[in-house]
Every structure is written in structure tokens, then in C-alpha cells.
Amino acid sequence: MEFNTALLHTETAGKRGTPLEPIYQTTAFQYPTAEELERVFQGTDFGYIYTRISNPTLAAFEKKVAALEQGVGAVACASGMAAITLSLLSIVQGGQEILSGSGLYGGTFALFKELQRFGITSRWVTDNTIASFAANINEQTRLIYVESIGNPKLDVPDIAGLAELAHSRGVPLVVDNTAASPYICRPLELGADIVLHSTSKYINGSGNSIGGIIVDSGRFPWDGRRYPALQEYHKFGPYAYLARVRKGLLTDFGASMAPLAAYLNSLGLETLGLRMERICDNAQELAVFFQEQHQVTAVNYPGLESSLSRSTACQQFRGKFGGLLTVRLGSKHKAFRFIEKLKYGANLANIGDVRTLVIHPASTLCLHHTCEEREQMGVYEDLVRISVGIEDIRDLKLDFAQALDRMSLAL
Ligand code: PLP
């Protein structure tokens, strides 16, 4: 089954005579006898108990994403940040370390700093070379973490190479695949162990609900001495990690996805392939267009010949390079004028929408980061991030061209 067919015909659809699993808008699930509920709690019978743990609408969404990412299963969470937090804290504990790539989403960067208060150290490599990662792994390292396309740095790590390195040192590779989406990148197929998404972005596609999801390959051999938190879940075999996430931190922290969000995400997912194809084509064309504009001092897009990430992206992406690009315009003032002159680019803090979105990261998403941290994230005072939408490319080009012209006149 090809990608778009799979989006519509994965086994979850139509089970109860509806194309999409309905919204089970309930807190808990009733059983006729005390014995039955006891068996469900014991795990000897399968059944739903309480929506904080699982729910049929969530399960259908999880099954679809797990199939797309080629994992053994998935756990849906309240947000992308919840997915990142739960995925990592299910593995590491105080006194241990996370080794991460250079181009991270600002919220993840902030989380890693927060985790230092809990005794979990994060080490960042300043470039994404295998040699830099290898040089920074030590006895305390318990996982390597990267984004398949750094947001907004737009760097692309060598996932297969990192997986090989991670495994040779006995640690898993965790990949945030939000910016690429499973349409262009499948980290588990490249050797990664765990993949996660902020579903608030491309998976949902219309910016109508916050969510996250964790997918596991089921392949990583969790050594009980190095990963004591997983020991009691070894009995679940390839589902050990997902059982740890669901029965452990998801249940304890209460960061579950709401049924309505799961429904909206399942609905959005159906058009992921069509949207991404159009978005990536638009982004590629716009990146070339911006390169030709004299007001633009730099364009970053992994699909450009000039991009340092292009060769890695060509190897591990499916011929497309995503929907994010950044432009540098010479000053913060120019960046602000450019944004205000746009007719179609909505100035808001999100990516992955069908609409084109723009933002000035330095004054918003990265407001509380130091200059050094911003540079590490690829954020500069004159940089604007564009999340390209599905509008007609001619309209987008005309709009960006008039905004660049009027930006210069407004100085
Ligand atoms: N990962 C990436 C790459 C993101 O861009 C974001 C949000 O922008 C997140 C994770 C966090 O997701 P959420 O906003 O759904 O918590």
C-alpha cells in the first residue's frame, strides 16, 4: 500500500462502520461486573478504563501514526512538549545525560535546561557531525536526541549514521520528526529507535489542536542495569518502552491527548500526503525565488544547492525537503516591516498549517534565550521563518515580492 492509500485504509478505519473512529467523549468506561473491571485492571482482559490512560479514539489515531512511522505502537500525548518530556523521562533519570543535536526547537532547548534542575544533564553538539556526537558520549549518556529537520536552524542530521553510533555505545536514538513529517522522512526505517511528533503541526495540518505522539520501533534492547526504569516492563517484549510510557509517566503525569484532538488529528492525517507534496513544492520554489531577490541577504532551505544539509537530506528524505525556510533581511527593523506588509503570511507562533505562516523568532520564540543560544539555534535578529502553506504559488510569490518592495520603501 502506498502512502496516501495507507492514510485512508489503515486497519483502524471503518471498524465500527464509520470511516473514522468516532469521538469517545467520555472520562471512563463502564463494565457490567466488578470481576470484568478487575480483569481489565489486572491486564488479563483487554479493555479501556479511563481516558487519561487510553481511549478508542486515541487508539485509532495512535495505530495510524505507528503504521506510518513503521513502529510497533504509539502513545498520543497532550502536546508535542508532553511527548518529548514523557519520551525522555521514561528513559533517563537524575545523574544521567542526554546528548542532543545542535538545531533544536526553542521549547525543547528550554526543557533540557529545566531538566538540569532534576539532575539530568544535557550536552549539545555545536555541529551535527558524527565525530562531534562520538566525542561527547560518555558513561552517563543514556540517549541521543535530534530533530530530523532542526526548527528553525533547518539542519539535517545523518540519522542512519547516528543510529549506528548510538547502538555501538548502547544507547537509543530519539528523533523529533515534526518538521519533516512521515511523508518525507521515516527515522525508524533509517535505524532510529524512537520517533516523536508535535501533532499540532503537519499531522493536524489546520492548526486546530495541540497534541503530540511517541512511536517506538520495539527494537532497542533495554539493558536493565543501564535503564532500571524499564526493568519491570521487560515482560512486554517489544512493547516494553511503550508500556513504560503509558503505564508509567503518561498515567502519572496525566499528559494525555483529548479525544476531540485525536479525532481532529486523524482527520488531518488523511490529507497529509497531499498537503506535504504541495507544501514542499511551494517551499522549494519560494526558496529559489528568495535567492533571486536583492533585498534578501540569505536563504536557508535544505532543498537548495547552497544548503550544507542538502546531501544528507537527499539521502534520507523522499525527494522533498519540507515546508520550512528562513530568510535574512539585513536588520530586525526590515524583518518587522516585511512581516507587516504580507497579505497571506499569517504572523503567528506555529508551523505546519495549510496556510502560510511567518514569524520573527528572535523577538518571539527565542525571546528568553541568550545570544549564544540563539546562534546555536540558527536564530538571528534579521531572520524570518516561513512555514509555507498550500496557497497557489503565484499568489505567494506576488505577496512576498510586494512585501519585500514595501519593506524597503518603509525604511
Ligand atoms: N517539536 C518541534 C520541532 C516543534 O516545532 C514544536 C512546537 O513548535 C514542538 C516540538 C512542541 O510542540 P507543541 O507545541 O505541540 O507542544
CA atoms within 13 A on the CB side of 284: 13
Closest by alpha carbon to 82, among 265, 268, 267, 258? 258
Q: What per-residue confidence (pLDDT) applies to 298?
A: 98
The C-alpha angle with vertex 128 and arms to 125 and 133, in degrees rounded to 5, equals 55
Q: What per-residue confidence (pLDDT) applies to 257?
A: 98
Pocket mutation for ligand 1, best pick of 176, 201, 364 (most atoms within 8 Å of C-beta): 201
Query: How is residue 290 written as a grid cell?
Result: 528568495
Q: What per-residue confidence (pLDDT) applies to 403?
A: 98
Q: How far apart are CA 355 and CA 342, in angstroms?
A: 13
Please check whether the two domains, 3-269 and 273-409, share a CATH topology: no
Q: What per-residue confidence (pLDDT) applies to 212?
A: 98
Q: How far apart are CA 160 and CA 106, in angstroms?
A: 25
Query: What's the CATH number for 3-269?
Result: 3.40.640.10
402 confidence band (pLDDT: 50, 70, 90): very high
Work out which ligand 1 atom sits closest to the CA atom of 210.
15
User: How far apart are the CA of 154 and the centre of ligand 1, in A?
Assistant: 14
The β-bridge relationship of strands 121-124 and 212-216 is unpaired
Q: Which residues of 102-117 are buried (b: 16+ CB within 10 A; e: fewer)?
A: bbbbbebbbbbeebee
Tell me what the mean pLDDT of segment 255-271 comes to: 97
Long-range contact pairs involving 235-241 (C-beta distance under 8 Å, separation at least 24):
238/72, 239/72, 239/73, 241/90, 241/91, 241/194, 241/216
Q: What per-residue confidence (pLDDT) applies to 243?
A: 97
A 10 A CB-CB count for 403 gives 22
Q: Would you say 203 and 269 are in contact if contact means Cβ atoms under 8 Å apart?
A: yes
Q: Would you say 182 and 69 are in contact if contact means Cβ atoms under 8 Å apart?
A: yes
User: How far apart are the CA of 356 and the centre of ligand 1, in A?
Assistant: 17
- What pTM did the predictor assign? 0.97
| Ligand 1, residues at Cβ distance < 6 Å | 79-81, 105, 107, 147, 151, 176, 178-179, 198, 200, 210, 212, 351
Q: pLDDT, tens digit, for every residue of 28-39?
A: 999 999 999 999
pLDDT over 80 at 125, yes or no: yes
Q: pLDDT, tens digit, for every residue of 162-192?
A: 999 999 999 999 999 999 999 999 999 999 9
Tell me what the mean pLDDT of segment 88-104 comes to: 95
Work out which ligand 1 atom sits closest to the CA atom of 365.
8
Q: pLDDT, tens digit, for every residue of 61-74?
A: 999 999 999 999 99
Q: How far apart are CA 171 and CA 188, in angstroms?
A: 15
Query: What's the CATH number for 273-409?
Result: 3.90.1150.10
Work out which ligand 1 atom sits closest to the CA atom of 349.
8
User: How far apart are the CA of 81 and the centre of ligand 1, in A?
Assistant: 6
The full set of domain ranges for the chain reads 3-269, 273-409
Q: How far apart are CA 207 and CA 365, in angstroms?
A: 17
Report the share of the chain in percent with pLDDT over 90: 92
User: How far apart are the CA of 353 and the centre of ligand 1, in A?
Assistant: 13
Q: pLDDT, tens digit, for every residue of 315-374?
A: 999 999 999 999 999 999 999 999 999 999 999 999 999 999 999 999 999 998 899 889
Q: What per-residue confidence (pLDDT) applies to 132?
A: 96
Q: Which residues of 17-28 are buried (b: 16+ CB within 10 A; e: fewer)?
A: eeebbebbeeee
User: How far apart are the CA of 199 and the centre of ligand 1, in A?
Assistant: 8
**Exposed, middle or buried by CB within 10 Å (0-12, 13-18, 19+), for 387?**
buried
User: How far apart are the CA of 216 and the centre of ligand 1, in A?
Assistant: 19
pLDDT over 70 at 411, yes or no: no
Q: pLDDT, tens digit, for every residue of 285-316?
A: 999 999 999 999 999 999 999 999 999 999 99
pLDDT over 80 at 240, yes or no: yes
Work out which ligand 1 atom sits closest to the CA atom of 151.
3
- Position 345, amino acid: G
Q: What per-residue confidence (pLDDT) applies to 15?
A: 60
pLDDT over 70 at 76, yes or no: yes
SS3 of residue 123 by DSSP: strand
Q: What per-residue confidence (pLDDT) applies to 408?
A: 84
**Exposed, middle or buried by CB within 10 Å (0-12, 13-18, 19+), for 261?**
buried
Query: How is residue 390 written as a grid cell?
Result: 498550500
The β-bridge relationship of strands 97-100 and 121-124 is parallel
16 confidence band (pLDDT: 50, 70, 90): low
Residue nearest to atom 4 of ligand 1 (CA): 105
Q: How far apart are CA 343 and CA 59, in angstroms?
A: 40
User: How far apart are the CA of 289 and the centre of ligand 1, in A?
Assistant: 28
SS3 of residue 316 by DSSP: helix
